[in-house]
Amino acid sequence: MRNRKAASNLKIRPIKETDNRQLISLARSIGVPARVKLGVDRAPIFWAFSEMQSKTWDILVAEDGNEIVGFIDLSHRKFRLSKVVKQVTYVGLTGVHTGWRGSEVFPRLLRASERLARKRGSECAIALVNVNNMRFNKLLRFIYKDSICCENLRVSCVLLGPRYRRNKNVRVERATQEDMQMIMDLMMRYYCRYQLAPILDRKHFTDLFNSQLLDLLVVRDDKKKIVATMGLWDQSHMRRIIVLDYAPPMLWIKRLINGSRYFTRIARVPDPGSHFEYFYSVFAAFEEGFENSFCEILRFVCNKYADRNYNFLILAIPESSKVMKTCSDLWIISNNNVPVVIPLTNDMVTFLKEIGSCSLYLEYALS
């Protein structure tokens, strides 16, 4: 830990263009203690993802002299909380230099972010905390005693490679422009299952479909109504996952996977210092009772993209969802994140107490 004098010299400020190189380097070096320690590579432009993610965003840095020792990434957006629409600040990527962990860097970044979020009109903030990052979780709960934890968000890495058997009676199709309204209606119904959910930005959705997505897939029922949908998004031009290290048991699994690739078709697991190749699911939704149709989309995707050097598809769904139980044949590596909602006004403190334990849905590809 740095001494008190060093901590007092810290400066919290908005990013500048000249910060790009230092921020990329710092983000690559951070990692959550887990079976595979990962960093985030936001080259070539650190804030490119933030610009795409939200119309209103901020990145604050902690600076000691000319060295950036921490940062926090914020996006400001509309959410539906219960039956009302609120302005919310989402706390995205954060990082603190290893030599400054346990110091005042992160608490001061949080306090500055809190002031900025209020200035932007937000009534609460949302952060995702990896279940393995107990220090971060305890720090948030200590600083923000009125915060609440929502139902866990299960982040599933679906391995591409194995040839999955599909139900020939379920036809997976690529969506067209004419399908957009029906897909958006389905998504809005899907969001309504959760007490906290994003407000669908129709223009953003259409822009992503036209310029960013690899695929937007649908399944229809007998009456041609769309009952399941999922978009596929390769974000490697904005952010990638870099492998920092493997725990000893994972090294054996890595060798096993790489040694059996001829039979499994799974893409090579990268060495430390290299990147995983993956894409995200986005705008995934399905009507109640059509979980199997959604799983057919997953199997279709796994089969189609198995030979294109992707390691996995990232899919994030609240733990209460029934969908993963219908996909027990898929090869999945899962990790849990805890959504934490932090009230920024007295009215929001009361509001969250009235809601009590709640479920939250996030478009993980946009988080």
End-to-end CA distance of the chain: 30
In this prediction, residue 143 carries a pLDDT of: 86
Confidence at residue 33, expressed as pLDDT on a 0 to 100 scale: 60
Shared-domain flag, residues 172 and 288: yes
Q: Judge whether 335 and 158 are in contact, CB under 8 Å.
A: no
Sign of CA dihedral 187, 192, 194, 198: positive
What's the pLDDT at 228?
98
* Closest alpha carbon to 67 in 6, 3, 112: 6
Asked if residue 184 and residue 125 are part of one domain, the reply reads no
For residue 61, the cross-strand partners are 13, 71
pLDDT of residue 34: 67
* Partners of residue 174 on adjacent β-strands: 217
What is the spatial distance between Cα 315 and Cα 57, in angstroms, rounded to a whole number?
Answer: 24
Measured CA to CA, the distance from residue 164 to residue 327 in angstroms comes to: 11
Q: Are residues 224 and 342 in the same domain?
A: no
The three-class DSSP label of residue 184 is: helix
Q: Which residues are registered as beta bridge partners of 57?
A: 75
Say yes or no: 177 and 316 in one domain: yes
Contact 186, 179 (CB under 8 A): no
The three-point CA angle 228-233-237 to 5° equals 175
Neighbouring C-alpha atoms within 13 Å toward the C-beta of 36: 23
Q: What is the pLDDT of residues 174-219, one digit of tens each?
A: 999 999 999 999 999 999 999 999 999 999 999 999 999 999 999 9
Question: Using a CB cutoff of 8 Å and minimum separation of 24, what contacts does 213-217 make?
Answer: 213/282, 214/279, 215/174, 215/301, 216/174, 216/175, 216/183, 216/283, 217/172, 217/173, 217/174, 217/175, 217/297, 217/300, 217/301
Q: What is the pLDDT of residue 320?
A: 86
CATH number at residue 84: 3.40.630.30
One domain for residues 105 and 121:
yes
Cα gap 348→345, rounded to integer Å: 5
Q: Are residues 38 and 17 in the same domain?
A: yes
Tokens for 252, please give them: 């054996």
Task: Supply the pLDDT for residue 64.
Answer: 95
CB 163 within 8 A of CB 326: no
Do 115 and 222 have their domain in common? Answer: no
The vertex-94 CA angle with 80 and 9, nearest 5°, equals 125
DSSP β-ladder status, 67-81 and 196-198:
antiparallel
* Residues 178 and 323 both lie in one domain: yes
Looking at residue 32, its pLDDT comes to: 65
Q: Which stretches of the chain score pLDDT less than 50?
A: 1-5
Let me know whether 259 and 277 are in one domain.
yes
Pair of tokens at residue 350: 């009361």
CB 122 within 8 A of CB 79: no
Report the pLDDT value the prediction gives residue 341, as an integer from 0 to 100: 94
Same domain as 53, residue 8: yes
3-state secondary structure of 50: helix
Residue 24 belongs to domain spanning: 4-152+337-366
Assess whether 353 and 296 both reside in one domain: no
Asked if 22 contacts 68 with a C-beta cutoff of 8 angstroms, the reply is: yes
Q: Show the tokens assigned to 8.
A: 């007092």
* Cβ neighbours for 290, distance < 8 A, ≥ 6 positions apart: 219, 221, 227, 228
HSE-up (13 A, CA, CB side) for residue 103 = 23
* Same domain for 341 and 313: no
* The two structure tokens encoding residue 313: 């598809």
Count of domains observed in the chain = 2
Label the pairing between strands 84-96 and 124-130.
parallel
